[in-house]
């Protein structure tokens, strides 16, 4: 059974600005012995002796068509609610997008499993430079990736399948398994990945990961050799790590590893392979199995959530002869509600909010809950009744002003492993 994320704290009612929840953030995640730029400039990973690199009369309020139900996960898969390499002939890039290829969502049903999965893969960047890949968690919007490529963990952006970007912050990390959870600070990507319950290391498996191929993201075949004990951060043992047999680029760390149905079976990360003769420990790419990923996600702190969306009104439940909703009593200055020209006042003047994105609201609590389901930066339609006329307005939700900034997470210990392609470490 796949675990759920820690629940979010209760959201304040729309009668007052909603304080933002602090996100875990660190100013120093790891300090490497060599600059990351040098690492990304051609470093390779070594595994088991093999090189790896990869107005009018009142009318009935407008109604919204019910959204189609989300497709169920294929048999043998459960929601993953946690959450380049040289050109290759067998790489399968999806149709091009703005810097990030992705299958057309209209044709997603007919697309190959790896093309559907590609819509849940993001590129992690800093200043336009690709650092790593990651996978969007199904139904959640947060991003699972590898920790080691993120450097100090600040100034990160995620580039999604449609080419749009969003600032992300480090919400949680695990040095041992080289895992990180990134929290987008605006928007919410709807296409996420699901976990597979199948054993990934099997003869009949068709395994793929994702890679930068000629400036675009593509799915590429990946060979899984066996389960093997490796060494992770803080000199801790990585039991049952998945040994790879394919080239992996450092910029592709964090990529989800998927099976023939598009279900996630592992995550690309970095560890260290101990020498059988007691020699230096060699940096390697490996697959983090789903079991430790679940353990990591169970430990996500409640603070590792996106900022709360803010509408900027105070309201009261209102019932008229023709409709029920929330009458606006106060519109805060410089708020999304003010920009949308919502009017506050008594029953003769004040607007009554009847629905948020098609969802009826009859109490301030309903309104708060409906707004909370959307993300900062989203454009959300409101159905409003005012002075005898129905109308629809669109608001762009924002974070409440004066919200507390994200509190930094405790600084991580110095790196226990050399950078990719660096000098092996004795253990």
How confident is the model over 31-57, as pLDDT tens digits?
A: 333 332 333 233 333 333 233 233 344
* Per-residue pLDDT reduced to its tens digit, 22-32: 333 333 333 33
Contact 113, 92 (CB under 8 A): no
What is the three-class DSSP state of 339? helix
Residues 348, 290 within the same domain = no
Contact 271, 282 (CB under 8 A): no
Q: How many domains does the chain have?
A: 2
Query: From CA 178, how far away is CA 271, in angstroms rounded?
Result: 8
Query: From CA 146, how far away is CA 156, in angstroms rounded?
Result: 13
Residues 187, 79 within the same domain = yes
In the chain the first and final C-alpha atoms are separated, in Å, by: 37
Contact 398, 20 (CB under 8 A): no
Query: From CA 265, how far away is CA 274, in angstroms rounded?
Result: 24
Segment 353-362 mean pLDDT: 95
Query: From CA 391, how far away is CA 384, in angstroms rounded?
Result: 5
Structural domain of 374: 309-399
CATH number at residue 107: 2.40.10.120
* Per-residue pLDDT reduced to its tens digit, 171-203: 999 999 999 999 999 888 889 999 999 999 999
Query: From CA 5, how far away is CA 228, in angstroms rounded?
Result: 29
More confident: 116 or 320: 116
Residues 273, 389 within the same domain = no
Q: Is residue 422 part of a domain?
A: no
Residues 101, 191 within the same domain = yes
Q: Is residue 14 part of a domain?
A: no
Query: From CA 143, how far away is CA 82, in angstroms rounded?
Result: 9
Residue 149: name the closest of 127, 169, 133, 135 by CA.
Answer: 133
Residues in the chain: 427
Contact 412, 26 (CB under 8 A): yes
* Per-residue pLDDT reduced to its tens digit, 124-171: 999 999 999 999 999 889 999 999 999 988 999 999 999 999 999 999
Residues 162, 267 within the same domain = yes
The residue out of 306, 329, 359 marking a domain boundary is 306
User: In terms of DSSP bridges, do strands 256-258 and 179-184 run parallel, antiparallel, or are they unpaired?
Assistant: unpaired
Q: Kindly report the average pLDDT of the chain as a whole number.
A: 76
Residue 160: name the closest of 146, 140, 181, 143 by CA.
Answer: 143
The first and second tokens of residue 329, run together, are 């009593």
Q: Is residue 423 part of a domain?
A: no
Segment 291-320 mean pLDDT: 92
DSSP annotation of 290 reads: H
The residue out of 306, 327, 355 marking a domain boundary is 306
Residues 273, 338 within the same domain = no
């Amino acid at each position: 059974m796949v675990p759920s994320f820690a629940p979010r704290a209760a959201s304040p009612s729309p009668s007052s600005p909603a304080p933002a929840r602090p996100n875990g953030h660190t100013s120093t995640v790891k300090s490497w012995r060599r600059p990351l730029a040098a690492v990304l400039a051609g470093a390779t990973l070594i595994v088991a002796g093999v090189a790896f690199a990869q107005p009018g009369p009142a009318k009935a309020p407008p109604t919204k068509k019910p959204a189609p139900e989300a497709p169920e996960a294929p048999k043998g898969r459960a929601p993953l609610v946690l959450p380049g390499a040289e050109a290759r002939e067998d790489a399968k890039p999806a149709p091009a997008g703005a810097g990030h290829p992705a299958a057309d969502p209209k044709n997603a049903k007919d697309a190959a499993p790896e093309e559907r999965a590609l819509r849940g893969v993001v590129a992690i960047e800093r200043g336009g430079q690709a650092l790593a890949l990651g996978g969007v968690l199904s139904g959640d919007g947060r991003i699972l990736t590898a920790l080691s490529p993120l450097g100090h963990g600040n100034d990160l952006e995620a580039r999604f399948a449609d080419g749009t970007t969003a600032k992300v912050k480090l919400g949680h990390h695990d040095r041992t398994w080289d895992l990180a959870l990134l929290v987008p600070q605006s928007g919410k990507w709807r296409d996420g990945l699901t976990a597979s319950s199948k054993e990934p290391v099997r003869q009949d498996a068709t395994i793929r990961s994702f890679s930068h191929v000629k400036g675009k993201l593509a799915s590429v075949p990946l060979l899984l050799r066996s389960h093997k004990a490796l060494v992770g951060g803080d000199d801790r043992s990585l039991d049952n790590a998945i040994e790879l047999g394919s080239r992996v680029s450092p910029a592709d760390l964090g990529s989800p590893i998927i099976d023939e149905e598009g279900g996630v079976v592992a995550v690309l990360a970095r560890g260290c392979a101990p020498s059988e003769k007691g020699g230096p420990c060699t940096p390697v790419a490996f697959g983090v199995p789903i079991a430790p990923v679940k353990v990591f996600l169970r430990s996500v702190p409640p603070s590792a959530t996106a900022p709360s969306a803010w509408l900027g009104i105070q309201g009261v439940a209102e019932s008229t002869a023709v409709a029920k909703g929330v009458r606006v009593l106060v519109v805060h200055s410089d708020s999304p509600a003010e920009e949308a020209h919502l009017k506050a006042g008594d029953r003769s003047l004040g607007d009554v909010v009847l629905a948020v994105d098609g969802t009826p609201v009859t109490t301030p609590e309903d309104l708060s809950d409906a707004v909370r389901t959307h993300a900062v930066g989203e454009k959300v339609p409101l159905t409003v009744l005012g002075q005898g006329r129905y109308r629809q307005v669109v608001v762009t939700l924002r974070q409440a002003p004066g919200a507390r900034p994200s509190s930094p997470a405790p600084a991580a210990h110095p790196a226990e492993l050399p950078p990719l392609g660096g000098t092996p470490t004795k253990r």
